[in-house]
A and B are shown apart, each in its own frame.
Chain A
Amino acid sequence: MNSVLPKQHILFVQNGIQSVFAKSVSPSVVIPCRKRVYYGSGKHKGGMIGRYGRRKYPPNWRAVNFNPAQIPKAWKPLDWDEKNRIDYEYESKLAQYIPGYKPKVPPHRREDHHDEPMHAIDNETCSSYGFPQALALTKSVVVEGGLPAKLQELQKSLPNPEDKVIKIMQNALLFDVDPCMVDTKNAVKRYKFDNFRHPTPERYCPRILKEFVRLCDAHICRVSDKYHDRFNMQNLPCKTWFQRAEKTSENVDILDVSYDWKVSIDVKTFMQLLSKNPLSLFATPDEVEETKNRELVSIYPKLLIHSIKPTHNYTPEHTTGFLETWHKPHLHTMVLNTTNDHSSKKTMGRMLFHLFCALHSRAVQQYGETPQVLAKPLAAQAIASDGRQFYAMTFQLNTTDLKDDSGVKNMVWTSAPLTDDLQIEDQYTPTLLFDECSPLLSYYPDYYHGYSPDAFATFQALWLNDVL
């Protein structure tokens, strides 16, 4: 249409777009506007159809699939498969020309590939299996009556500095300022009630736990000389693997299942207290012998490896996190930060897996890899907390022979009471440090409510066990 126009009017045209100025000067003249596409074929070709002068459907409507059953596939991005595909040939070429480049290798060609699968328990997944499954998998039995008698005495006898504990709690929850959140340039406009930001559990939980440790260590320094026999370590990795077998009833026929498994545990604990001397045992040899008569908790119809993922790529090894020549090798207490576990069943399962992993790797260092009933059992303690709820657990490793359900079993003591139906209900009651603590509690003069001294008493009893 450009060629039809007289030359004098081309001045008013700007890059083929219709301008307002051109319209006002000469409205009668047709000015080339943005090119309009008229879809159509046959007799409708090039013509104006419909109210708005253009066709509703594009010319490629035969190619478009209007079948609603296949719509979801059509929503999938076209390059999805291409982006998520790993080109192993290209990776090998990259490794040729880039020094230090680690190419991605298909899993069956890696060095750590094994034919027999290993069921791997990870630091993230170890809380998802729950306490009953952890008990059955580690072949351990719960001793009724709460924590051991020695620890219960310590809870009552040790002095409980309530003022200091309340100050720690208030510092973490009321007066703490996260440096990441500080607005130094005053860029963000704050409203009247928006001035205070509640500290998150990720912030206040480790703060409270570290302060509790400091308070207990100060007590040790005052009372005895054993402070230097101990060593506190954060984020210590730990790894073991073991073999476990299960007998099932005659009726159960499941496809592709063997009843003899390899299980590995690979965890990293928040805090581990190590000592020169081993922790004193919680059960006498006679009590250990009595566990032969007890039965493991049944998790029927689940198998022991229920929802634990098998992998063919693994390196079977036992590590405590230190060399064997390390002069403080014995585990005393471990502290777990369980802000991400949303139920007590998960927290207890995590505690048991962490304790078992640390002690089993030590037992293998001492007695070798052959599974056996230990001549000298190993014991350790664990405290788990999300800043408000506190759990305590003690564990005694009596045997590393987990192939059979009969025989000597490992023993567990917990602070929380147990119910009959372990699988469904979450009825392990933790001890609460406080019911509520927030600057919004203006009704209470100290801005907290429902403080209980039992939480720090149990923490202190475990931490100062075998010292005084």
Chain B
Amino acid sequence: MRYIEPHGHMVSRTTDDYLAMVTAGCRAVCEPAFWAGFDRKSADGFYDYFCQLTDYEPKRAARFGLPHYSWLCLNPKESEDLELAEDVLALIPEFLERPNVLGIGEIGLNKNTRNEITVLERHVDLAASRGELILVHTPHLEDKLKGTRLILDVLDADRRIDPGRVIIDHVEEHTAPLVLDRGYWAGITLYPESKCTPSRAVDMLEMYGRERMWLNCACDWGVSDPLAVPKTALEMRRRGLSEDAIEGVLFHNPARFLQQCARFAIP
């Protein structure tokens, strides 16, 4: 079985994880910029991180024959400081032409504040002005429903945004219909406790359709599983999905979305 891991924070993982993913059938991994587990003190920290995402990490993945792509942004968890946000936003354009960059992400909201919305709007403007794809992070737990609504309002307000070129990640049962009904793609994240289990992910595919959905593990420095996507294939088989249908969700769906970026090559 082939699959694409469309959301994994590989800088936080070991080479053993790369080996396991490739062995399980992973053909490409995509890494959104995210929170390091601590707030960075200056734009210089982000400059180094963007170099890591666009230079060093692709080389590390290449040792295992795995194409590595990245998304760039200031993550919403560090968006409260507007001065820092402007400094980081100014850095991003010079990295956008690097060969493994897919677009702007994972932008979005964390605690649904006015400053976070301001920074989200700035990222959306940057993406729209350059025709970049967008990957959106939706907030955690009790903040997800409100945050998803606010994010959709920001995206809908910018007439340059084509919903078919935006994926809104970490959807759950209370937010997936909101996202899909407005024409956006939806990402289901298989992450212990705070997001979604394989069984619930397959439930959502059954309830909401498979056409504009992808599955990802979002593995990072927390308790998470870089093999969550291929493991979910087991549950899909139990529910009676054919091998073609499984590969359709786990490989062809992310490929279909990502190939809207000219820098993405179908593996």
A and B co-occur in one complex: no
